[in-house]
Chains A and B, each alone.
Chain A
């Protein structure tokens, strides 16, 4: 028997669950019964949807501790479902969630885990799984060894969700009670959040003050910060500054950093290596401050000031604050 672990969030199934059912159906070819299990706090709706598929049974494993995903709770709950159902194979969609808990589950059960599977077939009665190697350059056929069940994760997009066959009548749904020892949960989930976009999006900035090696030391970055503040500008840097860890890498402008085109770009102590220039030469107005009159940055600057940035920056700040 093949057990498919479907994945839901807030009662909504993801497409990968259907793809995984399609993979199980293909391997089975009607010869092996398929059971689908879905775990969560309240999953009756999702279980009802899954029952439409051409499967033998749907198992709903509900527990309050499964409301928000934690690997420990899912390993406990799914371990019990597998122990109850005693399948030969367990198929998972190869989602981030599966990737997070399936190695632990396999280790707990002491069973083989075949990940990232893109093809399934029977070879002389033995299930055989194709998985990519060398970044997809080669495909290896593997067979799991050791006692059942074997755990298999099905790569996203390898099977078509709409290839999952629907049954002529709804499959029976069984509520499978699971216990979760909450004292053994090492993770405490917070409410899920939408990851904020990159904290600094320099490409959207209207004004940028970029600082280069002329700033000499980490303490002096404050000078550039003040100048940026006075301009109402974002702070950015050339490669050496970020390489030294004086500013985070996401503030690096140039061929190995970001490309920007703000209305105003102030290059502070930046000599203007071509690698930096390619990242900022599209700026509307470029102001360069450098003590070396020969610095290539002056070739792209609209306004160039030759002089000591430690004298010029405070003077500019004072002028802007007038």
Chain B
């Protein structure tokens, strides 16, 4: 081991460490502050670390906010200036074919959004962070957690990422080793496919008794269109084109004030076609006459992508361990039928805070004591909402019709009478080129659903990466670890380099290796931190780790 790796690291001792300043982590922090105030006693030391350079920069969602949890966490949220955006005015669901659209005569209950708000999650998170900071809690922006620290099987904290390493991993002039933050309780709020929670999956086997997690990728753009085109508060969801029966997903289009719209496309990361490209599907969607008419003459202002944990209740991992709790997207708390998770993330953060505070006060943060968090979740609105829908996403694995029927029955019976449906991890259902296409010869470098790029309505991925505002110093170690030679040896013939297709930011490219073959080039500086590669790569050889603190997309209004 190189000598500099043995550097003395700063250590910081806190009572509660929260990893990730999204809705879950910030709600946990705020709830801790509130409870301390109510209960009195020695104040806890609390730290929140976050890889984004400041509040909200890595937050992306549709987003429709169900304000139920917000009511409880911050009852006076209106007077405190919560950026609730635009109240939902009307709901519309369409089924698209290539040329036409059919409006669903009734809007199914999960899609009814009366009383909800169209928000920007990045703005909402920024506001939530200001509420936390007002309570005197330290928020450390630009400090990614990089390694979970253990003492035996007990989680004792997190080591933050090193700064100032060059692309070969050698210290540069301004090298600063990451610090060790030790905590009695660490709350993992590191988001969908959190890279630290993932360490808990492998080190503590927290997923052993859960269904395999299921994910989707959501790709989003903000547009400014002529102001009179859509009434603010209009909510449109579509199913169907350009997805086939075998792909699960759909679109959203939310109209906010001043002609600003949020438009996006979600595809389940369990598609079979190895050459399928979710970003291309989004472009086809925008080229549909119905959508083009809305966007025409408008301008794209932001782009981003993020994975969504869609598997539901049965995919939640073990939520606690010695010294650790898991909240929000990291624990897969999303209602994929309602396309909502912010309120669940917030609630799980609150419940974790209650558990953590009680445990620290008792001076017992063992798994046994922290298991109270699971009981709280089971007694909460999280279960009431997610349990009846626990099989819906899995059932769509059997196709749109079967899935739709199952979802319908689940809805009307409140989830009773139905057997549990077992899902498979998405990367395992991707088929090989030969299984999917037979022996027919194909150009594996081109997506099967390639879309024309006109740079007016449709854009290539590199342009998207630009609109995400993403930035990474080129002279640092690549933060996507691919330690294998399968990319140039067998992946081409087996799967046709699916990473090139599923990455929405052109991070992965197969380029000529100069000897007639192909080699993988990783454009890590394009990465928008969506985690799709970590999830969907069929060999599971891509590991997403945090780049230098403060880097990544720069979402504003997303």
Contacts and interface: CB of A to CB of B under 8 A. Distances in A.
A195 B474 CA distance: 24
B512 A216 contact: yes
B521 A243 contact: yes
A138 B179 CA distance: 12
Interface string A27-70: 00000000000000000000000000000000000000000000
A138 B521 contact: no
A243 B474 contact: yes
B471 interface: yes
B525 interface: yes
B465 A256 contact: no
Contacts, number: 47
A275 B465 contact: yes
Interface in A271-290: 273-275, 278
A275 B466 contact: yes
Nearest to A244: B521
B463 interface: yes
B54 to A, nearest CB: 12
Contacts of B512: 216
B523 interface: yes
A273 B459 CA distance: 11
Contact of A273 (B462, B474, B514, B521): B462
A275 B462 contact: yes
Contacts of A274: 462-463, 466
B455 A134 contact: no
B502 interface: no
Nearest to A273: B462
A278 B471 CA distance: 14
A137 B50 CA distance: 13
A138 B138 contact: yes
Contact of B12 (A133, A217, A240, A252): A133
Indicate the member of B143, B455, B474 with the most A CB atoms within 10 Å.
B474
A296 interface: yes
Interface string A155-194: 0000000000000000000000000000000000000000
Majority secondary structure, B binding face:
mixed
Contact of B474 (A216, A217, A242, A296): A242
B296 interface: no
Contact of A134 (B143, B474, B523): B143
A134 B475 CA distance: 22
Contact of B179 (A133, A242, A252): A133
Nearest to B463: A274
Contacts of A216: 512
A122 interface: no
B474 A255 contact: no
Contact of A256 (B138, B179, B474): B474
A320 B475 CA distance: 37
B140 A137 contact: yes
Interface in A250-304: 252, 255-256, 273-275, 278, 296, 299
A202 to B, nearest CB: 16
A256 B462 contact: no
A243 B142 CA distance: 25
A256 B471 contact: yes
Given A133-B10, A133-B12, A138-B138, A255 B143 contact: no
A112 interface: no
A255 B471 contact: yes
Given A216-B512, A274-B466, A249 B138 contact: no
Contacts of B514: 217
A289 to B, nearest CB: 20
A249 B474 contact: yes
Contacts of A133: 10, 12, 179
Interface in B454-474: 455, 462-463, 465-466, 471-474
Given A134-B10, A273-B466, 19 more contacts: A134-B12, A134-B143, A135-B142, A135-B176, A137-B140, A239-B523, A242-B474, A243-B474, A255-B466, A256-B471, A256-B472, A256-B474, A273-B463, A274-B466, A275-B462, A275-B466, A278-B466, A296-B455, A299-B455
30 contacts: A133-B12, A133-B179, A134-B10, A134-B12, A134-B140, A134-B143, A134-B179, A135-B176, A137-B140, A138-B138, A217-B514, A239-B474, A240-B511, A242-B474, A243-B474, A243-B523, A249-B474, A252-B474, A255-B466, A255-B471, A256-B471, A256-B472, A256-B473, A256-B474, A274-B462, A274-B463, A274-B466, A275-B465, A275-B466, A296-B455
- Interface pairs A-B: 7 shortest CB-CB: A274-B466, A273-B462, A274-B463, A133-B10, A275-B466, A256-B474, A256-B525
